[in-house]
């Protein structure tokens, strides 16, 4: 069975601070995919990134960066110089690489980020 | 570019009434389609997915059903709503290959009274 744990339920930061959202996953698959999604107050989930289990390179996209560590089963997300527009619920998700498991995204319960001006 | 639509945006229905939520995708062909429910507490639960017309897989046995009458149309239905069916229903699509990211629609907020 797959499981995604986002231990931080809610985080508040002051604008321009850096913030890291934690994600720990469990899977028996040797190949799998990890994702991050953003859910602003409007409700629509916005895709941010997909990472393959065989690619442990960290990735940076503007103010966003992701740290994937297979040894600790973690896929953490850092926002640098946070802005009010970053306020949202952020979800980490996991899927298998083949068969029926590849169609199912297992989501964590999300971390609600509030950026205070 | 691809676009995904859902309607209605909000719905208030009494217990025991029927339900029909519709989702359509534009700008792609033969997508995989998904229905999720997000109940209070924010967790997302996959309800159904479809890899083609008439092909529906159910992840959670419950009071709901899904149908895919056309390539880019996905419908979520119920004959008799329960209070526990309240929630935020999200439709999503992905490319017709394994493990691609899913793109979500704007959602339908359903309140069963």
Given a cut of 90, is residue A100 above it in pLDDT?
A: no
Question: For the segment B14-30, what is each residue's pLDDT rounded down to a tens digit?
Answer: 999 999 999 999 999 89
| Across A88-115, average pLDDT | 86
The minimal CB distance from B49 to the residues A46, A91, A103 is found for: A103
d(CA B84, CA A34): 30
CA distance B20 to B3: 20
Whether residue A42 and residue B51 make contact (CB cut-off 8 A), yes or no, is no
Which chain A residue's Cα is nearest to B99? A102
Which candidate, B44, B105, B47, B45, places its Cα nearest to that of A44? Answer: B105
What is the DSSP-derived secondary structure letter of residue A86? G
Residue of B nearest to A33 (CA): B99
Residue in chain B closest to A47 (alpha carbons) equals: B103
- Mean pLDDT, chain A, rounded, equals 92
State percent of chain A over pLDDT 90. Answer: 74
Tokens encoding B36: 């999720």
Which residues in A lie closer than 8 A to residue B51 (C-beta atoms)? 103
Cβ neighbours of A95 in B, within 8 Å: 99
Q: Which of A91, A9, A43 is nearest to B108 (CA)?
A: A43
Nearest-CA neighbor of B92 among B57, B55, B48? B48
Q: How far apart are CA A62 and CA A66, in angstroms?
A: 11
**Closest Cα in chain A to B43:** A109
Confirm if B44 and B54 have CB atoms less than 8 A apart: no
- Does B3 touch chain A if contact means CB atoms closer than 8 Å? no
pLDDT category of residue B85 using cuts at 50, 70 and 90: very high
pLDDT at B61: 64
How much is the pLDDT for A55?
Answer: 84
Higher-pLDDT residue of B59, B69: B69
| CB proximity B96 to A under 8 Å | no
Give the helix, strand, coil percentages of chain A, each rounded to 5: 10, 50, 40
Arithmetic mean of pLDDT, A58-69: 91
Owner of token pair 């691809």: B2
What is the reported pLDDT for A102? 61
CB–CB of A95 and B99 under 8 A?
yes
Which residues of chain A neighbour B23 with C-beta distances below 8 Å? none
Average pLDDT over residues A94-112: 81
3-class SS of residue A103 = helix
Structure tokens at B110: 């359903």
pLDDT at A48 over 70: yes
Tally of CA atoms within 13 A in the half-sphere of A14 that contains its CB:
0
What tens digit of pLDDT does each residue of A14-32 get? 999 999 999 999 999 888 9
């Amino acid at each position: 069975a797959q499981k995604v744990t986002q231990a931080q339920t809610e985080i508040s930061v002051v604008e321009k601070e850096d913030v890291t959202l934690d994600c720990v996953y469990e899977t028996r698959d040797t190949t799998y995919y990890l994702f991050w999604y953003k859910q602003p107050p409007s409700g629509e989930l916005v895709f941010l990134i997909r990472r393959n289990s065989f690619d442990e390179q960290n990735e940076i996209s503007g103010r966003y960066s992701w740290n994937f560590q297979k040894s600790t089963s973690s896929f953490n997300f850092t926002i640098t110089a946070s802005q009010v527009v970053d306020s949202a619920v952020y979800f980490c998700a996991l899927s298998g690489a083949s068969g029926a498991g590849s169609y199912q995204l297992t989501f964590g319960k999300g971390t609600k980020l509030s950026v205070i001006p | 570019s691809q676009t995904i639509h859902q309607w209605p945006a909000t719905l208030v229905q009494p217990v025991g009434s029927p339900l029909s939520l519709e989702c359509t995708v534009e700008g792609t062909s033969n997508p995989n389609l998904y229905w999720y429910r997000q109940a209070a507490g924010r967790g997302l639960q996959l309800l159904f997915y479809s890899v083609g017309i008439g092909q529906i897989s159910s992840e959670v046995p419950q009071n709901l059903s899904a149908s895919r009458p056309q390539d880019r149309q996905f419908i979520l239905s119920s004959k008799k709503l329960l209070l526990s069916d309240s929630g935020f229903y999200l439709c999503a699509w992905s490319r017709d290959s394994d493990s691609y990211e899913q793109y979500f629609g704007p959602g339908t907020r359903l309140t069963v009274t």
